[in-house]
Structure 1
Amino acid sequence: MEAQASKPESAPVLVADDDAAVRAALRLFLKSEGLSSVLVASPQEALVELGRGEVGLLLADLNYARDTTSGEEGLGLIRAARAQAPLLPIVAMTAWGSIPLAVQALQLGANDFIEKPWDNARLAAVLRNQLSLHSSRQQAQRLAAENALLQADSADKPWLGQSPALLSLMQKVAALAPTEVNLLITGENGSGKSQLAQAIHRQSKRAAGPFISLNMGAIPETLFESEMFGHERGAFTDARQTRLGRFELADGGTLFLDEVGNIPLAQQAKLLRVLESGAFERLGSATPRQAQVRLIAATNADLDQLVSQGLFRRDLLYRLNSVQLHLPPLRERGADILLLAQHFLAAHARRYQKPLRTLSESAQQLLLSHAWPGNVRELSHCMERASLLSQGDRIEASDLGLQAQAKPPAQEPELEQLTLDEAEKLLIRKALQRSEGNALLAAQTLGLSRSAFYRRLEKHQL
């Protein structure tokens, strides 16, 4: 894999071509257009690079050494790339261009088609157009997802923010929510897994149906079948009336199983059987029943580790984990902390009919330096406390009640004492504080483009 950087305005163009001369020529051409590039020689290498998630466009040859005329390898790459990155712009390119091959490439997900030898002006226009459209689509998808998520008037909205980690998650949510695929949401306690599951339900085709939630860690093993599948009157002692289980209650909607890592091993086979067949029986009945349910599961546990320890069935994990969504912990979303804090302050002020207060600089610094072991839930509770107890016009550090969990930041060193990376990180932190978490405003303050600013946020894990 070869890389070339040249003050890019966007994420790099991934070039997949088995001809080293072509790769070299494209690297120089892209550099002249102000675009960075990542160069690979095979479809397999291209998919590895796509998995890293830092690609702005795929420029893919259709013919490779093993099959130089049919385009089969290149078409396979386009198919796999489109499945892996639904919104990624893809431009196909081949020296053996033909209308049927171009049509196949476009049908499989390519956005445009270029023939070799290419015309520089034409190639530049195609790439710029696709990158521009991609940026617009991302913005539209993000805004649509955010608008849908914000419809619920809740003080607990873990998805608000501008950090790269969250924006990447939002893009996946926008693409996956309308589908019927089973989802596994992973994340630490307090990161917002339940709220995200409800938001996905509201954006799905099942939004008019029920959203049924069940915390698997709160169910005694002896009541597992009754809670999940229901029971008939007289099925066991104290079963005085027929009761519907969660699968039946969720028919036509979404069933959310929280903390699935807590399901007892003996009961996992029963859940697996229902997921595989779609049929179940109430306790005390031999009548098979069906429920049309979309399943979303969540856990804060490492299910792969539980599998290796013999505590979780591998086949059940495969059923639950069609697609995994990871909610990053708040400490990895530095650019979101102040934005979320202001949102929670406003929500709690409305709830308790308190005046809306702003955060002092010392309070902002403390919020940014805190480790947030309780994640978004802890931040919401922190802002609730501050909203209730603060007496001044501004929230001060002393109002936050965080002294026991985090020490206030030490006095900042002089710039002359810092390395270049340390100085850059310090300047970005200060810009975020001054802009109250607004990444676009912070980027403008530092004279950076939005994409360049986000790359620096990722670099410094802010």
Structure 2
Amino acid sequence: MKNPMSTRKPRILIADDQHDVVEALRLLLKGEGFIVEGFSSPGALIDSLRRAEADAILMDLNYTRDTTSGAEGLDAVARIRAFDAGTPIIVMTAWGSIGLAVEAMRRGAQDFVEKPWDNERMLSVLRTQIALGQAIHRARALETENRQLTAIEGDFIGESPAMRPAIEMIERIAPSEANVLITGESGCGKGLVARLIHERSARRERSFVVVNIGSLAETVFESEMFGHVKGAFTDARNDRIGRFELADGGTLFLDEIASIPVTQQARLLRVLEDGQFERLGSSRTQRTDVRMLAATNADIDAEIAAGRFRSDLLYRLNTIHLHLPPLRERGDDIVRLAQYFLQRHARRNRRTLETFSDPALAALRRYPWPGNVRELSHVIERAVLLARGPVIDPVDLRLDSSPTAESRPATLDEIEREAIRRAVDRHAGNVVAAAEELGISRSALYRRMEKTVQ
């Protein structure tokens, strides 16, 4: 699915007391695909911004009241920031100076352009600030959603003796600024632990940016992490903000850190050492302030011995090493997690299910859980969809107490197909009743039934 931000035209608000300047900018930006609204005073611009959001603001600092000091424009920047903390502001003046630029930035502007402007620079600054503003907006929206999700789901479930050292470590290290390397088998909750550390740190109001290193091709790694400038390579049609820039002031979580290309490890090491980097294709050094969390299920020592991972990079990443035990070693945490997943999946799928039968609980305890917590969640969701009564029995769990290498969990499509078949069978082919039980409309059920036979 495309981001709606990428398909609509950006809305730009311009304020300048010179009509010719506004019209010149309108023509320039309209030709580049922007929607432009011009105003002769900051007050009119602010009134418009209060009525509807904008993607960026381009405003003069000097107006007829005072043509040299920039006071009226600087005051407008502060007024905007009093009710709008996110819309990028780019200020411009024919009487530009470093001091005036610094003051504008201090009051909340993102960048500064001097008149007469260079069209290429104006467009570059504007596109960069719009992209950064949209990225920050998306990150903050995700943070709000994740924080709400955390509040609903509660704290990390872990009361077993095997989990107690990890829980105590999280409580101690979360408020610090230390980099943390989280290790453990796949599916044991490393991502959730990283999020908990961020939520309990002083950076919790800033971005939590997640990068799955294993999903990044080596050819795009540098661009994704550090960003690039227009023209850096064939398809670089615009400036792009990297993950380090997006996470500035917050936390950057690198999952599957052992997958980082050897050729890029030196650049990552440099950022960890001095917080400096350059976008791909640019010689301009930028600074970033991020707390680094990393995770892996690989044997890092073996990767170092094989020459695939730098030992000095490991030393920077694992100021604190936090190891999570596999689910099979966590005793009654298996039951606690199963009850939690039962409530969660039953609520989401509109099923009325109360608990597990004693034989089902015994099966949960007996199973070795090679996929850890992720597999447990998947098994409980499948049981919620397939259960015939209010209590989950062993047959609903479909666990093989001795899983083989060839066995695999059912896919979501397979689960959905089986749930539909059972619901239709229970209601003797009555599609309306089956749809009501599944919590979907009749037309939606027909579409899903058509998909299963394709």
The one-letter amino acid of 2:393's match is: E
Which residue among 261, 265, 278 is the counterpart of 1:264? 261
User: CA offset at residue 406 of structure 1?
Assistant: 4.6
The one-letter amino acid of 1:360's match is: S
SS of alignment partner, residue 353 of structure 1: coil
Aligned partners of 1:371 and 1:340: how far apart in 2? 15
1:238 aligns to 2:235 (yes or no): yes
For residues 223-277 of structure 1, the C-alpha deviation after alignment (integer angstroms, 9 at most, x for no partner) is: 1110110000111111111110000000010000000101111111111112112
Contact 2:227/2:279, CA 8 A, preserved across alignment: yes
SS of alignment partner, residue 308 of structure 2: coil
Change (3 A) 1:158 1:305: farther
The one-letter amino acid of 1:203's match is: R
1:348 aligns to 2:345 (yes or no): yes
For residues 134-153 of structure 1, the C-alpha deviation after alignment (integer angstroms, 9 at most, x for no partner) is: xxxxxxxxxxxxxx999615
SS of alignment partner, residue 328 of structure 1: coil
Which residue among 305, 314, 318 is the counterpart of 2:315? 318
Q: How many residues align?
A: 259
SS of alignment partner, residue 224 of structure 2: helix
Q: Which residue of 2 aligns with 1:152?
A: 150
Q: Which residue of 2 aligns with 1:213?
A: 210
User: CA offset at residue 173 of structure 1?
Assistant: 0.5
Change (3 A) 1:184 1:150: farther
Aligned partners of 1:364 and 1:149: how far apart in 2? 31
Contact 1:186/1:300, CA 8 A, preserved across alignment: yes
Change (3 A) 1:151 1:166: farther
Change (3 A) 1:150 1:326: farther
1:384 aligns to 2:393 (yes or no): no
Aligned partners of 1:151 and 1:218: how far apart in 2? 25
Runs of 4+ in 1 over 3 A off after TM superposition: 148-151, 404-407
Change (3 A) 1:356 1:149: farther
User: CA offset at residue 159 of structure 1?
Assistant: 3.1
SS of alignment partner, residue 248 of structure 2: coil
Q: Which residue of 2 aligns with 1:331?
A: 328
The one-letter amino acid of 2:349's match is: Y
Aligned partners of 1:318 and 1:213: how far apart in 2? 21
Aligned partners of 1:346 and 1:324: how far apart in 2? 33
The one-letter amino acid of 1:396's match is: D
For residues 352-380 of structure 1, the C-alpha deviation after alignment (integer angstroms, 9 at most, x for no partner) is: 11113211111111101101000000000
The one-letter amino acid of 1:172's match is: M
List aligned pairs for 1:58-137, cutoff 5 A. Answer: none
Which residue among 280, 285, 294 is the counterpart of 1:283? 280
Q: Which residue of 2 aligns with 1:251?
A: 248
SS of alignment partner, residue 391 of structure 1: coil
Q: Which residue of 2 aligns with 1:166?
A: 163
Aligned partners of 2:402 and 2:262: how far apart in 1? 36
Aligned partners of 1:154 and 1:383: how far apart in 2? 19
For residues 161-215 of structure 1, the C-alpha deviation after alignment (integer angstroms, 9 at most, x for no partner) is: 3101212211110110010000000011111111111111111100000000101
The one-letter amino acid of 1:217's match is: G
Query: Which structure would you say has the larger Rg?
Result: 2
Aligned partners of 2:209 and 2:390: how far apart in 1? 42
Aligned partners of 1:158 and 1:236: how far apart in 2? 45
Contact 2:277/2:287, CA 8 A, preserved across alignment: yes
Q: Which residue of 2 aligns with 1:308?
A: 305
Aligned partners of 1:398 and 1:151: how far apart in 2? 31
Aligned Cα RMSD in Å? 2.0
Contact 1:149/1:199, CA 8 A, preserved across alignment: no
The one-letter amino acid of 1:304's match is: D
Contact 1:158/1:192, CA 8 A, preserved across alignment: no
Contact 1:158/1:191, CA 8 A, preserved across alignment: no
Aligned partners of 1:378 and 1:239: how far apart in 2? 40
User: CA offset at residue 319 of structure 1?
Assistant: 0.5
Provide the TM-score with structure 1 as the length reference: 0.54
Q: Which residue of 1 aligns with 2:397?
A: 400
SS of alignment partner, residue 150 of structure 2: coil
Aligned partners of 1:252 and 1:322: how far apart in 2? 19
For residues 266-318 of structure 1, the C-alpha deviation after alignment (integer angstroms, 9 at most, x for no partner) is: 11111111211210000111111011100000000011111111111000000
Which residue among 369, 372, 389 is the counterpart of 1:372? 369
1:292 aligns to 2:289 (yes or no): yes
For residues 27-46 of structure 1, the C-alpha deviation after alignment (integer angstroms, 9 at most, x for no partner) is: xxxxxxxxxxxxxxxxxxxx
User: CA offset at residue 327 of structure 1?
Assistant: 1.2
SS of alignment partner, residue 375 of structure 2: helix
Provide the TM-score with structure 2 as the length reference: 0.55
SS of alignment partner, residue 243 of structure 1: coil
Which residue among 192, 195, 198 is the counterpart of 1:195? 192
Aligned partners of 1:372 and 1:343: how far apart in 2? 17
Change (3 A) 1:319 1:285: same
- Aligned residues: percent identity? 54
Contact 2:174/2:201, CA 8 A, preserved across alignment: yes
Contact 1:257/1:296, CA 8 A, preserved across alignment: yes
List aligned pairs for 1:19-30, cutoff 5 A. Answer: none
User: CA offset at residue 393 of structure 1?
Assistant: 2.2
User: CA offset at residue 388 of structure 1?
Assistant: 1.1
1:181 aligns to 2:178 (yes or no): yes
The one-letter amino acid of 2:222's match is: E
Bigger relative CO (Cα 8 Å, ≥ 6 apart): 1
The one-letter amino acid of 1:152's match is: T
Aligned partners of 1:332 and 1:154: how far apart in 2? 26
Aligned partners of 1:364 and 1:298: how far apart in 2? 31
Contact 1:182/1:321, CA 8 A, preserved across alignment: yes
Aligned partners of 2:304 and 2:199: how far apart in 1? 32
SS of alignment partner, residue 321 of structure 2: strand
